[in-house]
Structure 1
Amino acid sequence: MTERWRQDRREHRKGAVTLRGERVPASTTDQRLLDSREPADWLHADPWRVLRIQAEFVEGFGTLAELGPAVSVFGSARISPDHPSYRMAEQVGAELVRAGYAVITGGGPGVMEAANKGAAEAGGTSVGLGIELPFETGLNDYVDVGVNFRYFFVRKTMFVKYSEGFVVLPGGVGTLDELFEAITLVQTGKITSFPIVLLGNGFWAPLLDWIRDTLLAEGMIAEKDLELVRTTDDVAEGVRWIVEARAGRGAAPFTPGV
């Protein structure tokens, strides 16, 4: 290194970060904050996004911390009220409330609306965790407690953290995403005693056959991984599995209204 090179390597400390050479900013953070002529581009910079992410976690935690026992329900946003899955989701919402659970959905239409409707009309707590999307429709009318998120991963954390299990009805890519993330978290031990119930034997059978006949046959998963989900066409049976899982881990029974 030449002496001239060393002299040109100015150093600037920015909190925990050290910047040298051409990386040294021409102005300080305070100067950019207080200079009213500065454009608003900084709102979209990664460090600022961290604060937004933190704020979303704080908002979600603060809203849901006292929710009590809850179960998340997933399924297609594209079905209409006359679809069999809509009617089944309504029943799921009502049955979960009668079993002492709040019902959490993504807050949208279709299966989500139906589960929220069933919960609300049964006198329970109906929660919707919305997400900012280009084609968003807003929270459905049956949501009592709604939180909207910018970031999918923050929203997903809320589903898992405040649920004692998932009930998954027929759905598309988003539904599969939530399902397989939950399976992965259980398989890797990140969450324990977390029942995953698939409603609709006919819909899920081809997928489960592929998992068994291909993934298991090729050694991609273990035999015990097949036990991470249970399928049924009987809503009452699915809810009973969730209640039994709660009892199995020694949690006290929950009485609605207490």
Structure 2
Amino acid sequence: MRGPVVLRGEQSRSDSTTDQRLLDSRGPSDWVHTDPWRVMRIQAEFVEGFGALAAVPRAVTVFGSARTKPDHPQYALGQRIGAALAQEGFAVITGGGPGTMEAANRGAKEAGGMSIGLGIELPFEQGINQYVDLGINFRYFFARKTMFLKYSQAFVCLPGGFGTLDELFEALTLVQTKKVTKFPVVLFGSEYWGGLVDWIRTTVAGNGNVSPPDLDLIHVTDDVDDMVRVVHDAYAAWEAAH
């Protein structure tokens, strides 16, 4: 017996017990990298995230490229979007990194709103940007994704790369399958997103791989006020249902 696990035959042979390994400080440190120990780290990330974000007011997550430079028009747009959401009483959540994420955090902070960054341990993009008031660094993408979804009332996606696309399609899947309630996904920038949306409508929907109502889950816009309206309407609908 090893706790709740039963081992027989060759599987049962061991030179030490769990207590012995726990109390013995000698030997290699490889044990901290084993899968069972990772479960504790994963649990700790969820506990830390839930604890830090429990009191966050209504919020919107803004995604976009970490590669956007401060002098790029997309950076200024991110600031405008962050400020507009803050002025409407929404906290702004981003991935906490540079580029568009920094811009949205900066816009929210400078407008007097709450600026939140949920970072991820990567070989690059290290650290939380300076405009974040509440920041958490995660080891695991799936723990971080849960926080984005649990504490946001909407996603706003500016032009971005694989990370932005990953979050976009995960949100759409969870809304489509009703794992989350009404959750608007706003794609900001019709020129950037237009080709993707056209492909979804003509090829994906055209082959019957999504239903016509699924297409309504995506809202494409180039107008900040329109984005705010979509977010407000969805939040009002959510409040009415609760």
CA distance in 2 between partners of 1:219 and 1:243 (Å): 32
Give me the CA root mean square deviation: 1.1
Matched with 1:54 is 43
> What is the one-letter code of the residue matched to 1:37?
R
Matched with 1:10 is none
> What is the one-letter code of the residue matched to 1:101?
F
TM-score, normalised to structure 1, is: 0.91
Counting only pairs closer than 5 Å after superposition, residues 201-216 of structure 1 correspond to structure 2 as 201-216=190-205
Between the aligned residues of both structures, percent identity stands at 64
Matched with 2:219 is 230
Q: 2:206 aligns with which of 192, 211, 217?
A: 217
Paired residue secondary structure (1:17): coil
CA distance in 2 between partners of 1:94 and 1:135 (Å): 27
Q: 2:4 aligns with which of 9, 16, 30?
A: 16
CA distance in 1 between partners of 2:20 and 2:10 (Å): 19
The structure 1 segments of at least 4 consecutive aligned residues displaced by more than 4 Å after TM superposition are none
CA distance in 1 between partners of 2:56 and 2:167 (Å): 21
Matched with 1:200 is 189
CA distance in 1 between partners of 2:31 and 2:199 (Å): 48
Q: 1:177 aligns with which of 150, 161, 166?
A: 166
Deviation at 1:21, TM superposition (A): 1.5
Counting only pairs closer than 5 Å after superposition, residues 117-136 of structure 1 correspond to structure 2 as 117-136=106-125
Paired residue secondary structure (1:237): helix
> What is the one-letter code of the residue matched to 1:175?
T
Matched with 2:54 is 65
Deviation at 1:34, TM superposition (A): 1.2
Residue-by-residue CA offset, 1:29-58 (whole Å, 9 max, x unaligned)? 110111122211110011100000000000
Paired residue secondary structure (1:96): helix
Residue-by-residue CA offset, 1:76-107 (whole Å, 9 max, x unaligned)? 01011121211111011001111111000000
Paired residue secondary structure (2:128): coil
> What is the one-letter code of the residue matched to 1:70?
A
Residue-by-residue CA offset, 1:138-174 (whole Å, 9 max, x unaligned)? 1111001000000000000000000001000000000
CA distance in 1 between partners of 2:34 and 2:77 (Å): 44
TM-score, normalised to structure 2, is: 0.97
Matched with 1:85 is 74
CA distance in 2 between partners of 1:108 and 1:152 (Å): 14
CA distance in 1 between partners of 2:18 and 2:240 (Å): 50
Residue-by-residue CA offset, 1:193-225 (whole Å, 9 max, x unaligned)? 101111001100000010011001111111111
Q: 2:145 aligns with which of 149, 152, 156?
A: 156
User: 2:61·2:154 contact (CA, 8 Å) conserved in 1?
Assistant: yes
CA distance in 1 between partners of 2:100 and 2:240 (Å): 29
CA distance in 2 between partners of 1:32 and 1:47 (Å): 14
* Structure 1 unmatched ranges of 5 or more: 1-12, 253-258
Deviation at 1:251, TM superposition (A): 4.7
* Structure 2 unmatched ranges of 5 or more: none
> What is the one-letter code of the residue matched to 1:102?
A
Q: 1:116 aligns with which of 105, 110, 117?
A: 105
Counting only pairs closer than 5 Å after superposition, residues 240-255 of structure 1 correspond to structure 2 as 240-251=229-240
Deviation at 1:249, TM superposition (A): 2.6
CA distance in 1 between partners of 2:112 and 2:125 (Å): 27
CA distance in 1 between partners of 2:192 and 2:240 (Å): 32
